[in-house]
Structure 1
Amino acid sequence: MDKSQEEWSTLLQDTDNAVILDVRTEEEVEDGYIPGMINIDIRKGQDFLDEIEKLDKSKTYFVYCRSGARSGQACALMQQMGFDQTYNLEGGFMNWEGEVAE
């Protein structure tokens, strides 16, 4: 489910079992990231699916990429795999105004 930057950030703060999932490439992550995230590159195809399958489906996932397109695909895939709570960051990291780590 797509969420605006503000909605995503507020929900993230209010969710006890939140996991931040960055689906960008390692090179993109080197340019900065949201603190506390785990990185699983969606472009790795089957490896991406294998890594996602290992995650706890009972948690709430806050997913982002650079612009919001790949993370939208990731949320759709995760929902097909049985994840009930996935939130896509509209506009992605390039529009993120929250805390950033490098």
Structure 2
Amino acid sequence: MKNNNWMFLFILSTFLTFNSCTESKGNQVNMVSSEEMKKIISLDETQLIDVRDFNEYESGHITDAQNIIYDEDFEANISGLDKTKPVAVYCRTGGRSEKCASILKKAGFEKIYELEGGYEAWTYKDNLE
């Protein structure tokens, strides 16, 4: 009987150690290129968020993007979004969107995409085509 208890404890501790070392696949921030972002936002359920300030947003933004500014109210302002639907986030070059993606992850959003290089990379890529 003692051997069974030790075996059970060994298996349990191995399982717990393995699970604590792996990250959940459903709550990761995925860095995506402009091409990948175009495919992602073409899906109806994707929530596209521009986190730049109002003037930056007004000077040009990705079609159908919501302007939810990265400021002290960001966490409260994302509360109206659906955590079960994919969310794609971008800023000018990637600094603010990285912080916002982290906040979205902590808030429990399931699928998070961040545009690599931000809006500048998006517009640069469009100008090449």
| Mapped contact 1:67–1:91 kept (Cα < 8 A) | yes
How far is 1:16 from its partner? 3.2
- Number of equivalenced pairs: 96
**Alignment pair present for 1:11 and 2:40:** yes
Higher relative contact order (CA 8 A, sep 6+): 1
2:56 corresponds in structure 1 to: 28
Residues in 2 aligned to 1:11 and 1:55: alpha-carbon distance in whole angstroms? 17
Which of the pair has more CA radius of gyration?
A: 2
Counterpart Cα distance in 1 of 2:48 and 2:94: 14
Match of 2:31 in 1: 2
* Normalised TM-score (structure 1): 0.86
Counterpart residue number, 2:100: 74
**Cα deviation, residue 12, structure 1:** 2.1
Letter in 2 for 1:84: E
Residues 40-63 of structure 1: CA deviation (Å, up to 9, x unaligned): 111x21x11101122111111111
Show the counterpart of 1:93: 119
Higher helix share: 2
Once superposed, what is the RMSD of the aligned Cα atoms? 1.5
Q: Is the 8 A contact 1:2 1:72 kept in 2?
A: no
Moved over 6 A (4+): none
**Residue 53 of structure 1 pairs with residue 53 of structure 2:** no
TM-score by length of 2: 0.69
Unaligned runs of at least 5 residues, structure 1: none
Q: Share of identical aligned residues, percent?
A: 36
Counterpart contact for 1:58–1:83, Cα < 8 Å: yes
Deviations 1:52-75 (A, max 9, x none): 122111111111100011111111
